[in-house]
Structure 1
Amino acid sequence: MSESKKVRLSDGEKGNVIKLTCISVEGVMRRRLLDLGFVPGAIVEVVRKSPLGDPIAFRVSNTTIALRKDESIKIEGELMD
């Protein structure tokens, strides 16, 4: 049995599946992310990273959403096997 590994969304690699634990974004962007399904407990898959790592595409709730690095660095979760 392996331990879960804490990771920021911005550090995820293509194909990683992450269970969200903490969203440290504030204001209007927080509300928007929550509305899109970025809530604690949600399962997020890293779909694609641009060559320079910004933006990053994620799949959550059967929807693909691209986030900038300054947004995704504030969202943490546990790396799933």
Structure 2
Amino acid sequence: MKTLKDIQCGQTARVVKLEGAGAVRRRIMDMGITRGTQVMVRKVAPLGDPIEISVRGYSLSIRKNDAALIEVE
């Protein structure tokens, strides 16, 4: 499976599954990233961390470690 950190800048993907447990998973879900949500990678920082995405009509920056927990298709 691909994760959100593998998606290239400008591409859109749909969230299939959230990995992780407890507080980390809850924080990702609280940001609006849930199963079935469309996300678009807008920018990637020069050193690769963080990643800026568009989700549910707003921009959000997440760390690569968190993006690796989000499976997409």
Q: 5+ unaligned residues in a row in structure 1: which ranges?
A: 1-5
Aligned residues: 73
For 1:4-43, list aligned pairs within 5 A.
6-43=1-38
Partner Cα separation in structure 1 for residue 60 and residue 53 of structure 2: 5
Q: Which residue is 2:62 aligned to? A: 67
SS at match of 2:8: coil
What is the root-mean-square deviation in Å for CA atoms of aligned residues? 1.1
Deviation at 1:25, TM superposition (A): 2.6
Q: Give the unaligned 5+ runs of structure 2.
A: none
Q: Does the 8 Å CA contact 1:58/1:66 hold for their aligned counterparts?
A: yes
Deviation digits for residues 17-74 of structure 1, max 9, x if unmatched?
0100011032222212212211010000001001111110111001111111111011
Structure 2 counterpart SS, 1:28: helix
The answer to whether the aligner puts 1:47 opposite 2:42 as a matched pair is: yes
| TM-score, normalised by the number of residues in structure 2 | 0.90
1: CA distance, partners of 2:54 / 2:14? 12
Q: Which residue of 2 aligns with 1:56?
A: 51
Between the two proteins, what is the percent identity of the paired residues?
A: 33
